[in-house]
Amino acid sequence: MGTERPEERTSRRDLEWWRNAVVYEVYPRSFADGNGDGIGDLAGLRSRLPYLRDLRVDAVWITPWYSSPQADGGYDVADYRSIDPLFGDLAEAERLIAEAREHGIRTIVDIMPNHVSDRHPWFRAALAAGPGSAERERFWFREGRGPNGDDAPTDWESSFGGSTWTRTTNADGTPGQWYLHLFAPEQPDLNWQNDDVRREHEDVLRFWFDRGAAGVRIDSAGLPVKDPALPDMRGVSGYVPGTHPHLDRDELHDIYRAWRRVADAYDEPRVLVAEVWLAEADRFAAYLRPDEIHTAFNFDFMTAPWDADRLRRVIRETLDTHSAVGAPATWVLSNHDITRPVTRLGRANTAFSFDAKSFGTPTDETLGTRRARAAALLAAALPGVLYLYQGDELGLPEAELPREALTDPMHFRSGGVDPGRDGCRVPLPWTADGRAFGFSSAADDTTASGPHRVRHDTAAAPWLPQPDDWGGLSVAQQLREPHSMLLLHRDALRLRRSEPAFRDDAFRWLEAPSPSVLAFARGDDVICIVNFGTHDLALEQDADILLASAPIVGGVVPPDTTVWLRTACSTAFISTAPIGIPSDGAQPE
């Protein structure tokens, strides 16, 4: 507005921090262990806040830290108002949120509206109260079908494999009603037609917002509402959008509008971030309308293969879809559910799909690392919010763990076929050597701070085993190597913050000399070029190289490389002359 004073503009920009933030995902179990029990915790995380500050992240999203039996890594919450003793306590969570903010880092917590733990007091009460009770109305209890009710009420399949229904046992030992769980049996689904469920979640939001949480990540945000008729899916090949029995139902939007009102009631409005997996772009964008959710994870980008055409299309569609509703795009390369980029991009099939995961897939980690570096700079150059999953800044590969070490219900419920998600959740290496590579001790490590230190020799083994060679990937080691993955990320995030071109949404595709090259401009003078091809790419003129994922020698961008350039001349920047410079290093004629 023309009448706005500069300080008002500044403050509005600050309130809209979430539009171009760098959000670092912390999986607390595996980030840093402050008490030496082999499991990451809040003390460990607090001691590593300086590391996150130096990386220049704007926010952390912390996956569930609440009291939980941990049947699904904490995504089975027994009590949202207390912290699991594995991680610390509520007072420490409050301290963490405040300390992080002192380092300029906001905190986003995780909320799971689809389900709770089977140990949640509501579910215990529902089991005890029996059929027809108000307590059971908060969940989906149904009689079984077939003789004696022995068949599940619907034919739905769980995302973790198997049926979505588990039968209860009555007090007298006879088989009872069934209850619905889209995930594991330990995660009973809530009934969002029930007012208690709505009220309770709004209270939980306020509980954490009052404690300084800057926002919430909404787990499985497309799933909570069910068709009360609970129809079978057998034989139905497609649905009129909004009518699927349990995905993306129209009624969800009212829930999130109510959440938005809760978030907007704070002086610094809180932020909603959704995990919605949806194929239809317009249905996805509907969640991001101005009175609903602020941002949502871009899974199209995350799952796309390493291919210029596909990524060009995904980026174009993402930007179009989001600008239609005025929401910022997000750029996500992985998370705690997904194969690590270094591994995924080093395989024959570089796309991600849960169905395609299998043990022993051949992987070229050198190639994967090269591409992961290029992908990191591509993602960081795009307009919107950047998500970074812990350990990706170190280039950790997906660990191939011994079967006996696996803990993920996805593995067990697949009958042992799916390796599950433990491989991307292995505790981080902080030091080049020492027990657990410094995961359970900050004692010898200049990157840590605070009083939460245990001695190497007394710390328990980490909850998942780390590969023997992970010392080379540790933070301490990478801080010593000028071209390490960690320092590449630090440089990228520093430039993202300092370069005016990255501050707004200005984005322009540039004509690329080959279909296997992506080129775009940010602002007036920054260009990002990604060479997906198998040949070197010649730059037309010497430009100021801001950052590159691999060495640029003589103006040549090698295969699987991203470069950020500064140049005022942003059109036709790349040579359209034959760019097929053989990658053996021969020079063009």
Site residues (CB under 6 A) for ligand BGC? Answer: 72, 75, 112, 183, 219-220, 275, 336-337
- For ligand BGC, which is the closer residue by CB, 181 or 489? 181
- For ligand BGC, which is the closer residue by CB, 134 or 356? 356
- For ligand BGC, which is the closer residue by CB, 51 or 179? 179
Element (H, E) at 467: none
Question: Least distance to ligand BGC from the beta carbon of 297, Å?
Answer: 10
- For ligand BGC, which is the closer residue by CB, 141 or 297? 297
How far CA 23 is from CA of 8, 78, 330, 340, 549, in Å, comes to 25, 26, 10, 17, 21
Element (H, E) at 26: strand 22-26
Which of these, 88, 52, 92, 51, lies nearest to 448 by C-alpha position?
Answer: 51
Phi and psi at 296, nearest 5°, equal -140, 155
Q: Is 16 a catalytic residue?
A: no
Strand ranges for 353-482 from DSSP E: 385-389
Question: Least distance to ligand BGC from the beta carbon of 187, Å?
Answer: 6
Distance separating alpha carbons of residues 439 and 33, to the nearest angstrom: 6
Q: What is the signed CA dihedral for 135, 139, 140, 141, rounded to 10 degrees?
A: -30
The token pair at 225 is: 């509402």
Question: Least distance to ligand BGC from the beta carbon of 183, Å?
Answer: 5
Which is catalytic among the residues 268, 291, 481, 504?
268
Question: Least distance to ligand BGC from the beta carbon of 14, Å?
Answer: 29
Helix axes 485-498, 365-381, angle to 10 degrees: 10
Question: Least distance to ligand BGC from the beta carbon of 75, Å?
Answer: 3
- For ligand BGC, which is the closer residue by CB, 112 or 492? 112
Q: Is 560 a catalytic residue?
A: no
Which of these, 431, 428, 426, 427, lies nearest to 478 by C-alpha position?
Answer: 431
* Gyration radius of the chain's alpha carbons: 25
Which is catalytic among the residues 84, 219, 418, 560?
219
Which of these, 247, 18, 189, 217, lies nearest to 111 by C-alpha position?
Answer: 217
Question: Least distance to ligand BGC from the beta carbon of 463, Å?
Answer: 16
- For ligand BGC, which is the closer residue by CB, 153 or 188? 188
Phi and psi at 139, nearest 5°, equal -125, -170
- For ligand BGC, which is the closer residue by CB, 183 or 507? 183
Which of these, 246, 252, 254, 207, lies nearest to 228 by C-alpha position?
Answer: 246
Give the nearest residue (CB) to ligand BGC: 75
**SS3 assignment, position 127:** helix
Residue 48: partners with Cβ closer than 8 Å, 6 or more residues away: 31, 32, 430, 442, 447, 448
Question: Least distance to ligand BGC from the beta carbon of 27, Å?
Answer: 9
Which positions are annotated as active-site residues?
A: 219, 268
